Structure 1
Amino acid sequence: MKNRLVSWLLLAAVLALSACGAPGASSDPSASAPSSSAPAESQAEQFAFTRENFPSLDGSTSTVPLAQAIASVLLGETRDEVSDLFNFSKTTQSYRMLMWSDGESTDLLIAAEPPEIIWQEKEEQNFQWQMEPFAIDALVFVVNADNPVDSLTTEQIQKIYTGEITNWSHVGGDDLPIIPFQRNEEAGSQTAMNKLVMKGLPMMEAPSDYVRGEMGDLIEAVAAYDDSPSAIGYTMYYYANDMNMADGLKILAVDGVVPTGGTIRSGDYPFLNNYYVVCAEHPTEATQVLYDWILSDEGQNLVAHEGYVPVTAAETAK
């Protein structure tokens, strides 16, 4: 029997139940829930996912809601009920978990692009994987909501993080020192920062108090630093916007472009970064089915429903 997944009727039914109050559900009207209509062939032959054969998932912090949605849809359980199936170890470590286990205990990743150290370790281990982008996110910059600055240029951001610009008055703000928070070197958002923004420019050596290992810690630090709007930090758009983590913050425009679902889809926002689905070169049957499904029309529709920008939507916008 050919590999097939849960029918569109089940997909639509579970989404209808799980979308109500779902933390990752998109408020963007263009990211609507999947239709319940589907070719008869898709409903006739299915791959039966169970708790016993469901692939072990790992990946980036910002893709946890998507993992919950995928498992909820394919197993017909609520998000709370499937939460025990995975414990994401964040971007860099998730790639290591896949390589170390050779796809046996960690089957599939939904993660941001790995840092250079992972590519080196992959080559050293001669590990082969399947890897395809399934969604696009944006690296965004956040400040306290009371900061009068609404937009920065790429050059200004670079100079803030190299230590050349040190006061908000130099970029149209109040006479306050700029406190630039960073992520740790192995964080997915740090990889994106170095690749997309700094582009080879060395970042200033930050005091340990300005480097945060958790994305949520950075968000909280920027919002509450010294009870003033001095701080700035960066995170992924989905995490700040769709996970409702930006209370007390505002997301800055860059080069005059406000990051939104629309400007990410169109490519107008400058700092775009892919999410990838990754598995070993020769995975289990269930893992291969899930990998293929995330890239299929059904999977991409779920990705959009959850508030991410699917690669198919970006391709259509070009």
Structure 2
Amino acid sequence: MRGKLKFIIGILLAITVLTGCGRKTDKVTIVGSSAMQLLAEQAGNDYRLQHKGVNITVQGGGSGTGLSQVQERAVAIGTSDIFAEQKKGINAAQLQDHKIAVIGITPIANKEVGVKNITRTNLQKIFTGKITNWKQVGGHNLPITVINRSKGSGTRTSFESVILPGLVPIKAQEQDSNGAVKKIVASTPGAISYIAFPYAEGNAVQKLAIDGIAPTNTNVKQNKWKLWSYEHMYTQKHPQARTQAFINYMQGTHVQRDLIPKLGYISVHDMEYERDAQGNDKLVRKGGKQDVG
């Protein structure tokens, strides 16, 4: 009887081991852009539901971190708001660029400043310290508090390349994520900063139009609103099969046609313009009317 019991226990242990082996999880780690984090996390959750045994892990840290981590092979995917060619110390030729979406970037201010529209010139003067009070741009008598993104931020690189080309920004407190910036601007009288469109939704902060052009996806698609960037997923030239499968999913119908617009991003297929790593824009198709602020 004892021998029979040992035999049965042995069989059960073998089944347990085999079952455990069958449940091995394939892990894809994604690190980088906080602007893309919202999209990557939701897509990762959807993907997990459809592909049992695959674990998609998403972390922020900024575009610079994403690019450096994927270059060092520390992660499978590095997300970035900028081209790898724009980041010092990154060997772009070593990496494969997968453009997933486009995201608009908008200047935001505390709702009490009394300004909804600003000229590009005055925006430059605020971020270079030449304008220091909102009354100088038609707002209330409030000192301006500039909130910047950290130096590794792709959102900051995109903002400065479009709004402050060749200019030196004022030294200001820095935050490492869109969410943190929004909270601080919402709670700090006179504050101004910039964040990605999906994080600017709601009534917590005031989105600022520039020269009468509203920060909308329609205007981004037509390149009327110049403050936008691609959301890149960078991999090694020959990624593992599970990584390539997730990239294919991100570029597929569900994400491009359903999830991306739902979350406030823009599908790369809906853009009327393309932009290269040098910042040159090229018309590829025509669309409709612009939105006015």
Task: Give the CA deviation at 1:237.
Answer: 1.2
Counterpart Cα distance in 2 of 1:65 and 1:213: 15
Deviations 1:245-298 (A, max 9, x none): xx4311011111111222222322221111112111111112223223322344
Q: Do the aligned partners of 1:51 and 1:75 also contact (CA within 8 Å) in 2?
A: no
Q: Give the Cα separation in 2 of the matches to 1:64 and 1:179.
A: 27
Report the Cα offset of residue 64 of structure 1.
2.1
Equivalent in 68, 75, 92 of residue 41 of structure 2: 68
Query: For 1:235, what is the secondary structure of its paired residue?
Result: strand
Cα offset, 1:61, TM superposition: 1.4
Identity, % of aligned positions: 23
Distance 1:100 1:303, change over 3 A: same
Q: Which has the larger radius of gyration?
A: 2
For residues 143 and 149 of structure 2, the distance between their equivalents in structure 1, rounded to whole angstroms, comes to 20
Where in structure 1 are there 5+ consecutive unaligned residues?
Answer: 1-49
- Tell me, yes or no, if structure 1 residue 119 matches structure 2 residue 76: no
State the TM-score, normalizing by the size of structure 1: 0.70
CA distance in 2, matches of 1:115, 1:289: 22
Q: Relative to structure 1, is the Cα distance of residues 127 and 267 closer, same or farther in structure 2, using a 3 angstrom cutoff?
A: closer
Q: Which amino acid aligns with 1:215?
A: N
Against the structure 1 CA distance between its residues 317 and 304, is the aligned structure 2 distance closer, same or farther, given a 3 Å change threshold? farther
Match of 1:216 among 155, 158, 179: 179
Deviation at residue 70 of structure 1 after TM alignment: 1.8
**In 2, Cα distance between equivalents of 1:115 and 1:195:** 15
Alignment CA distance shift 1:317-1:286 (3 Å)? farther
- Counterpart of 2:111 (choices 133, 145, 162) is 145
In 2, Cα distance between the equivalents of 1:109 and 1:216? 20
Q: Which amino acid aligns with 2:100?
A: F
Deviations 1:80-124 (A, max 9, x none): xx99833333321111111112xxx411233311587x733223x
In the alignment of these two chains, the number of paired residues is 251
Summarize the Cα distance change of 1:90–1:178 in structure 2 as closer, same or farther, 3 Å threshold: same
User: Displacement of 1:198 after TM fit?
Assistant: 0.3
Q: State whether structure 2 residue 72 is matched by structure 1 residue 100.
A: yes
Is 1:89 paired with 2:89? no
Aligned position for 1:170: 136
3-state DSSP class of the match of 1:85?
strand
Match among 156, 164, 169 for residue 190 of structure 1: 156
| Structure 2 gaps, min length 5 | 1-22, 273-284, 288-293
Query: Which residue of 258, 265, 270 corresponds with 1:308?
Result: 265
Which residue pairs with 2:166 in the alignment? 200
Deviation at 1:152, TM superposition (A): 0.6
Aligned-pair CA distance for 1:142: 0.9
State TM-score, norm by structure 2: 0.76
Give, as a single letter, the amino acid of the residue that structure 2 aligns with 1:205: K
CA distance in 1: counterparts of 2:90 and 2:154, whole angstroms: 17
Tell me if the contact between 1:153 and 1:255 (Cα under 8 Å) persists in the aligned partners: yes
Q: Compare 64-73 and 169-178 and name the one that shifted more.
A: 64-73
Aligned pair 1:136/2:102, yes or no? yes
Counterpart amino acid of 2:237?
E
Instruction: Assess if the C-alpha contact under 8 Å between 1:114 and 1:191 holds in 2.
Output: no
Partners of 1:291 and 1:300 in 2: how far apart? 12
2:87 aligned partner, one-letter code: W
AA aligned to 2:269 is T
Q: Which has the higher contact order (CA 8 A, sep 6+)?
A: 1
Larger strand proportion, structure 1 or 2? Answer: 2
* CA distance, structure 2, for counterparts of residue 282 and residue 109 of structure 1: 14
- 1:238 paired with 2:238, answer no
SS in 2 for 1:233: strand
| Aligned CA distance change for structure 1 residues 223 and 88 (closer, same or farther; 3 Å) | closer
Change (3 A) 1:64 1:120: closer
Structure 1 residues 299 and 198: alpha-carbon distance in aligned structure 2, compared to 1, 3 A threshold: same
1:51 Cα deviation after fit: 7.3
